[in-house]
Structure 1
């Protein structure tokens, strides 16, 4: 469910399909926002709640310089160093005080503006040392799993340990961006969502693009107040402020309603990027108000990044091939495939079960010098057989699409073979490996097309 535009904010008009996501004109009320001139750091725009959050009237804060508002020698020195760069990147969060109260200051440059967001620190907030220990433990936890199954279990648990949220889902996108919950950690008594499917429209393209840019989205309470920016437009461009990368960016009423229907009070998500692509999300739900500091959320971003790195390592073509070779070595040691003329051997039910079980397939085909033997449930192989025999160069390119050793796999045969649509009912998923170092001996595994109803 996308989150964009806040109730009560002025409607925006733009040809940009992402405009409402990026320019809501308001913030969530658990902090205050200042939009600063990129050269002078004078306040051009401010959220209406600066009086209650910072103790400074809105009319008085406009035009002030940042160093006239916040105190913190180290933070201000760092800001000046960053401002000397063509593209300033700030070491967030920075500890500052305003009127004697401690704040996390989070800054970024965007839309020819320097954004400064301030989140108040509670007296009992975890110390930086506490956070460092938690970060070290969580990151080390992501290094331990040596199988994909173990990683899918460890990731949500690490996020839940770091946040205390009632439920953490590991949400995976497929190639068409439909989603499935493939991992979960939850408090006892909380409903499980593991295994559920969701349609692509649930998290549409505009929202996915933002998830690919912003790795954390935090909503501490769905009934929290919102605060408009005044003035609402960027004074330097006379256009709505682009708040794409603001941590306080306001939430859509439709997304609030979506969470409320689930009974959720607080929500948080962390993007999982793999090889430059949005692979999935950690989606966190809590049934009471959540109060997490920026540093706590930053640790979860680091966990998500470590999860993504470990995932990429485990599912790389080299890792898949190594795993397949190891598993094949065990199974094939006693398999008829290792015997002379394997197609003429007597295949026992156990040998067939083991071969299919290597990749949890429904069917397999053994291709040896133009002859084919079938095991289990296979599609009609006539066209594929002819393709291998009559188009060897094209078949060779297919085998080496992902891996120089010739390990090929796809979940949608119709997308890679011109006749694949006629095979997908029984063989939409296809994996091929060459045998004995020759390109004329192959094992092909098939999985049928899986049609699920998104819930």
Structure 2
């Protein structure tokens, strides 16, 4: 049987790079040049560290700026606003201030983000009028309201994601917008796409976890978006290099201007794009996926546009969460109905094995199984397609030794227990409900092999190419579709199905205890 790969298919290999995931991206001491970074003493608000490009934006040299109080350069009301931010310790609200600097005798407005830390305060500055979008604020507000109502009408998470991709492309003018969902192993699959004609088609492709390594994934909980207006920028250093307040590199985890790893800029080049912006989709405090925006030419959306996208990513996350929860509730209701009928049958049969395996409703209906077996008091009862009796005894012995006494389930039995490959056609997936594990007494549920084709965006085995020094590495330079057939796997087990299995196990144990005692 062959099936297109589901989002939660068990990919045979782990593509999450420990090497990439261990690089300290937040301690780079570099920013992108489309703004300025100031590091202030949290007590005095004196400027202790600044990006080298301050003169370009503020008309003030580094030596004139460093060790002076911010109050010497901005109005007192701005200083008071920053003090309030620090007092509230509101570094997670990401709400900007408007700061006015006197630049060459003229007042210049900057959009400022303030990030209070224990020993210092980061202030990110971008010129307020630098990037002007076609859409005025009222237009953005109307578009957000319109999109919110559209999302609510969508019938599935896939339809919602596609709507989002289409509408965000229209709103922002990015050349390509992808909605990208993570599988359980942190590979990402493109579930929605809107793009200009002629651009590469990534719909349905899976990208290895090393493309967004752990360190990058973690930073999405600190930053509402990641913007690279142009990949060809020259990074700007912080001076002095070591933060004089901590004697360490300044932590730029919360900083939107933070410079990007060179390997990521090379990755954008290989994708054929100049600018990118990505926003997290967070559901139940987990990174569910990303909205990824690509542009062939350099592009720097205004702060208003970025804020609108940030808001929309939150609205989209909430809508996707709602749809997933609704699907889970419907499945639970369906499983409870089957369980109720199965329970009635269980108690009307003298032998619990007959009650579970036979009749108009059985365990195969409850857990979508191709076969099931009960091993109890030396006997074996089966229904549907199962391995041979001796194979099941050996399997149970292995489960007891290696998986403990709690419920065990896998959709890729052959990966852990190589002997099972001999009967993969009937048991590539197994769920084991221990009745008395020490005695090898179990209820077993089997799922047959489902060949699943994964289409990767480039060969995932070549996702990272190391140089001879063992330190320098490059991303793959081809994103041509690479197909992999996943063997020895069954359809995955849903959380709700495993909950239903545990409830059934409890009912069986209760029946056994009642009859024996």
TM over 0.5: yes
Name the CA distance, whole Å, in 2 between partners of 1:445 and 1:371: 17
Picking from 265, 280, 283, the partner of 2:274 is: 265
Task: Give secondary structure in 2 for the equivalent of 1:228.
Answer: strand
- Structure 1 counterpart of 2:182: 173
The residue aligned with 1:57 is: 61
How far apart, in 1, do the equivalents of 2:428 and 2:181 lie?
20
1: distance between equivalents of 2:75 and 2:315?
35
Q: Distance in 2 between matches of 1:422 and 1:303?
A: 50
Distance (Å, rounded) in 2 between the aligned partners of 1:98 and 1:384: 78
- Aligned position for 2:128: 121
Give the Å deviation of 1:292: 0.6
Residue in structure 2 matched with residue 314 of structure 1 by the alignment: 323
Q: Residue 451 of structure 1: CA displacement?
A: 6.5
Shift of 1:244: 1.2
Q: Is 2:114–2:121's contact at 8 Å kept on the other side of the alignment?
A: yes
The reply on whether 1:81 has 2:115 as its aligned counterpart is no
Check if 1:195 corresponds to 2:204.
yes
Separation in 1, partners of 2:175, 2:336? 41
Match of 1:44 in 2: 48
Q: CA deviation at 1:39?
A: 1.3
Stretches of structure 1 that go unaligned for 5 or more consecutive residues are 3-15, 330-340, 347-354, 400-408, 433-439
Please say if 1:157 is aligned against 2:166: yes
How many pairs are equivalent? 401
Deviation at 1:32, TM superposition (A): 0.8
Q: How far did 1:179 drift? A: 2.4
State how far apart, in whole Å, the 1-side matches of 2:422 and 2:96 are.
56
Deviation at 1:70, TM superposition (A): 3.3
Q: What RMSD, in angstroms, separates the aligned Cα atoms of the two structures?
A: 4.4
Alignment partner of 1:240: what SS?
Answer: coil
Deviation at residue 446 of structure 1 after TM alignment: 4.9
Q: Which moved more, 1:138-147 or 1:176-185?
A: 138-147
| Aligned counterpart, 2:73 | 69
Q: CA deviation at 1:246?
A: 0.5
Shift of 1:410: 6.5
The change in CA–CA distance for 1:383 and 1:217 in structure 2 (over 3 A counts) is same
Residue 290 of structure 1: how far off its partner (Å): 0.8
Distance 1:313 1:427 in 2: 34
Note if contact 2:371-2:446 (Cα within 8 Å) is conserved in structure 1: yes
Mapped to 2, the partners of 1:306 and 1:119 lie a distance apart of 26
Following TM superposition, by how much is the alpha carbon of 1:107 offset from its aligned partner in structure 2, in angstroms?
1.2
Partner residue of 1:255? 264
Report what 1:436 is aligned to: none
| Cα offset, 1:217, TM superposition | 0.8
Give the gaps of 5 or more residues in structure 2: 1-14, 338-353, 433-441, 461-481, 483-517
Which stretch has the larger CA shift, 57-66 or 243-252? 57-66
CA contact (8 A) 2:189 2:205 kept: yes
Contact 2:428 2:446 in 1 (8 A): no
Encode CA deviations 1:101-142: one digit per residue, 9 max, x unaligned: 222111112362211111112374454433333333333333
Aligned with residue 33 of structure 2, among 24, 29, 40? 29
Which residue number corresponds to residue 364 of structure 1? Answer: 370
In structure 1, C-alpha distance between the alignment counterparts of 2:26 and 2:201, rounded to whole Å: 32
Residue 141 of structure 1 contacts residue 158 of structure 1 at CA under 8 Å; is this kept in 2? no
Give 1:448's aligned residue. Answer: 450
Is 2:109 aligned against 1:106?
Answer: no
Distance 2:336 2:446 in 1: 13
Name the stretch that deviates more: 366-375 or 95-104: 366-375
